[in-house]
C-alpha cells in the first residue's frame, strides 16, 4: 500500500478528488494515509490520481 507523507498530502486537493470520484474528502484522506485498504477500484483510482497530482508539484521527486 502506498503511503503519502504529511507534506505530500497537504499538496493533494482532496476536495477535487472527492468530487471526481463521488466520495467524501474524509475517505480520500483515509486512503492517502493508508488507513483504508487500497484493494477496491475506487481506492486504486484515488491513489493513481494523487500520484499524478504530486508529479505536477514534485516533478523531480518520487512520491
Q: What is the pLDDT of residue 63?
A: 46
Q: Quick one: pLDDT at residue 59?
A: 79
Note whether 8 and 63 are within 8 A (CB).
yes
Intervals of the chain under pLDDT 50: 63
The pLDDT, as a whole number, for residue 43 is 95
Report CA-CA distances (Å) from 60 to 16, 18, 54, 57.
24, 26, 10, 9
- Distance (Å, rounded) from C-alpha 20 to C-alpha 14? 10
Amino acid at each position: 500500500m502506498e503511503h503519502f507523507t504529511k507534506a505530500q498530502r497537504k499538496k493533494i486537493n482532496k476536495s477535487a478528488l472527492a468530487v471526481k470520484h463521488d466520495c467524501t474528502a474524509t475517505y480520500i484522506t483515509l486512503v492517502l494515509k493508508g488507513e483504508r485498504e487500497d484493494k477496491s477500484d475506487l481506492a486504486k483510482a484515488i491513489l493513481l490520481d494523487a500520484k499524478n497530482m504530486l508529479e505536477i508539484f514534485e516533478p523531480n521527486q518520487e512520491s
